[in-house]
Structure 1
Amino acid sequence: MSDDSADARRAVQIMGVVNATPDSFSDGGVYLDAQAAVAHGLKLASDGADILDIGGESTRPGAEEVPLELELARTIPVIEGLRKKGCEAAISIDTRKPDVARAAVSAGASIWNDVTALSFAPDSLDTAMSLPCDIVLMHAQGDPKTMQRDPHYDDVVEEVYAYLARRIEACVKAGVSEERLIVDPGIGFGKTLNHNLNLMAHLDRFCALGRPVLLGASRKRFIAALDREGPAKDRLGGSLAAVLSGFSRGASIFRVHDVAETRQALSVFSAIETVR
């Protein structure tokens, strides 16, 4: 088997987005009710999602921090509801807060997706060490409220790479097994259009960290900047282009809103590459 064929056959996972929030950039308020969020998660799982990423605090540009009790009230009933319905997809909790991560894992989550790479709270690393779950370490410059005001890098690819390498090192030092870690360069989190394009063009650089690479580019603002203005739900074409580009550069987990379309695009693209 050629190297290209082996790469095309590598295992990939689709992470479906379930936003139990009133203000997420793409579907804020649509799944705020727990029953609606559970139903949406079950639909994504039936469409082919391997992972469901449950979030109760928007991290869109300009978003405010959500109080702990409110974030718990938005997310834990959704996780519990999915498990009671027999959902077999892995569940990820999208949170910065260790207390939310602990409650989510207790309710049935097996992944902690942290946009701050375990740097938000003093006990984030210790909590990660104590929990039986995988961890997504994402890069962000600044916090959601301020991150898009004036992001600057001398070399965005190498600076994001170095940051993620340091966070892996910090995790290992804290007792978190490296095998539990996933890395995410954080498309749209403190980045301009050119920063985002550079990261996606050099996504293979992050494979050198030796951990699975997650790409979360679905429906993001850079797509409209390259095409035309319009609602986030109309960015499917750009979202699929980003997924296929990421797949060709070694990413193996794709956080998306449009699960069925992403599954189909990856299936066709990987079949063509395997034959080639």
Structure 2
Amino acid sequence: MDRFGRARAAADAFLAKIGTKPLVMGILNVTPDSFSDGGKFVLPESALAQARAMAQAGADVIDLGAESTRPGFTPISEEEEWARLEPVLAPLLEETALPLSIDTTKAAVARRAAVLGAAVVNDVSGLRGDPAMAELVAESGAAVVVMHHREKIDSTIDIVADMIAFFENSLARAQKAGVERRKILLDPGVGFGKTLAQNLGALAATGLLREKFALPVLIGVSRKSFLGALTGAPAEGRLAATLSANLAAFSRGADVFRVHDVAEHVAALKVWSEIDRA
């Protein structure tokens, strides 16, 4: 029996929806220290209730993360990460038809999730963190989000050129490992090692990235600090700014939007799409 059969089927179903409409990925952090919602969904019952609420609100996929990636985060072990994930992932896979994504940089965690049936591996290291990640993605048949990630901010660099070089390297790693190109999504990595100007430039380059690599683009800007720098709003007050940034990216060809506020994005993207179609 193919132990990754469920993950492969779910990945194919998710990928088939890309391009048919803008897809909304609901964020579910089962962490005590994420920058916006840390601690809210640590208990499995709370996390499951939030997942059900996002599904009801129209989410197309739910992204589960058990290790914070905020600036200055404290790394955790594979076992601790899985201990947070499994009590939520296992029952969710049994009760929902929505594809589930795992936000992790650890191949061993991604493997466990794919065995259960997770459809997507969301790797903020861009396949550069764990040397076994690309091979695991290829073996499992899961879809993978490859994110541009700089360890340190350098205001002197051309961020678009840096992203292109980064993605070329990551895609070469994926190809060498046997990852199907059709299963890859790119994420500009807004908020990861970039100045305010570079974050804006990364978003503005959405169309360029899509055209150059002929791959779907996922945008993750929800409630991030660069929006606070622009508006002065705290994390919980950045919905309007998040909607604006995501609609700007959608107008440039972005395909998937990773957000905390699912219902608002489903509505905004639907209205934009209908106006554009008219």
Aligned residues of 1:14 and 1:49 also touching (Cα < 8 A) = yes
Aligned residues of 2:100 and 2:119 also touching (Cα < 8 A) = yes
Kindly indicate whether residue 68 of structure 2 is the aligned counterpart of residue 58 of structure 1.
Answer: yes
Q: What's the C-alpha RMSD, in Å, of the aligned pairs? A: 1.2
What is the DSSP-based 3-state SS (H/G/I as helix, E as strand, rest coil) of the residue aligned with 1:183?
strand
What is the DSSP-based 3-state SS (H/G/I as helix, E as strand, rest coil) of the residue aligned with 2:63?
strand
Aligned residues of 1:179 and 1:211 also touching (Cα < 8 A) = yes
Q: Which of 91, 96, 105 does residue 81 from structure 1 map onto?
A: 91
Aligned residues of 2:100 and 2:118 also touching (Cα < 8 A) = yes
Q: Which of 222, 227, 234 does residue 226 from structure 2 map onto?
A: 222
- Displacement, 1:42? 1.1
- Displacement, 1:28? 0.1
- Displacement, 1:10? 4.6
Partners in 1 of 2:253 and 2:84 — Cα distance? Answer: 34
What is the DSSP-based 3-state SS (H/G/I as helix, E as strand, rest coil) of the residue aligned with 2:41?
coil
> Relative to structure 1, is the Cα distance of residues 27 and 99 closer, same or farther in structure 2, using a 3 angstrom cutoff?
same
In the other structure, the counterpart of 1:175 is: 178
Aligned residues of 2:111 and 2:136 also touching (Cα < 8 A) = yes
- Displacement, 1:228? 1.1
Equivalenced residues, count: 259
Kindly indicate whether residue 32 of structure 2 is the aligned counterpart of residue 22 of structure 1.
Answer: yes
- Displacement, 1:132? 2.1
Share of identical aligned residues, percent?
41
The AA in structure 2 aligned to 1:44 is M
Kindly indicate whether residue 82 of structure 2 is the aligned counterpart of residue 72 of structure 1.
Answer: yes
Partners in 1 of 2:277 and 2:20 — Cα distance? Answer: 10
What is the DSSP-based 3-state SS (H/G/I as helix, E as strand, rest coil) of the residue aligned with 1:189?
coil
Q: Which of 189, 196, 199 does residue 196 from structure 1 map onto?
A: 199
- Displacement, 1:177? 0.8
In the other structure, the counterpart of 1:6 is: none
The AA in structure 2 aligned to 1:101 is A
In the other structure, the counterpart of 1:241 is: 244
- Displacement, 1:234? 0.9
What is the DSSP-based 3-state SS (H/G/I as helix, E as strand, rest coil) of the residue aligned with 2:201?
helix
What is the DSSP-based 3-state SS (H/G/I as helix, E as strand, rest coil) of the residue aligned with 1:255?
strand
Partners in 1 of 2:44 and 2:116 — Cα distance? Answer: 14
> Relative to structure 1, is the Cα distance of residues 55 and 153 closer, same or farther in structure 2, using a 3 angstrom cutoff?
farther
TM-score normalized with structure 1 length: 0.91
Partners in 2 of 1:199 and 1:254 — Cα distance? Answer: 15
In the other structure, the counterpart of 1:185 is: 188
Aligned residues of 2:26 and 2:260 also touching (Cα < 8 A) = yes
Partners in 1 of 2:156 and 2:61 — Cα distance? Answer: 32
Q: Deviations over 1:109-156 (max 9, x none)?
A: 1100000111112212221221121011001101xxxx4xx4345210
Q: Which of 140, 144, 167 does residue 135 from structure 1 map onto?
A: 144
In the other structure, the counterpart of 1:3 is: none
> Relative to structure 1, is the Cα distance of residues 153 and 55 closer, same or farther in structure 2, using a 3 angstrom cutoff?
farther
Kindly indicate whether residue 223 of structure 2 is the aligned counterpart of residue 213 of structure 1.
Answer: no
Partners in 1 of 2:88 and 2:30 — Cα distance? Answer: 8
Structure with bigger helix share is 2
Greater Cα shift, 182-191 or 127-136 = 127-136
In the other structure, the counterpart of 1:42 is: 52
The AA in structure 1 aligned to 2:86 is I
The AA in structure 2 aligned to 1:186 is G
> Relative to structure 1, is the Cα distance of residues 120 and 270 closer, same or farther in structure 2, using a 3 angstrom cutoff?
same
Unaligned runs of 5+ in 2: 1-18
What is the DSSP-based 3-state SS (H/G/I as helix, E as strand, rest coil) of the residue aligned with 1:59?
coil
Q: Which of 245, 269, 272 does residue 269 from structure 1 map onto?
A: 272
Partners in 2 of 1:122 and 1:43 — Cα distance? Answer: 36
Aligned residues of 1:182 and 1:213 also touching (Cα < 8 A) = yes
Q: Deviations over 1:74-124 (max 9, x none)?
A: 11211112123x211110000000010011111221100000111112212
Partners in 1 of 2:40 and 2:171 — Cα distance? Answer: 35
Aligned residues of 1:79 and 1:108 also touching (Cα < 8 A) = no
In the other structure, the counterpart of 2:6 is: none
Aligned residues of 2:106 and 2:133 also touching (Cα < 8 A) = yes
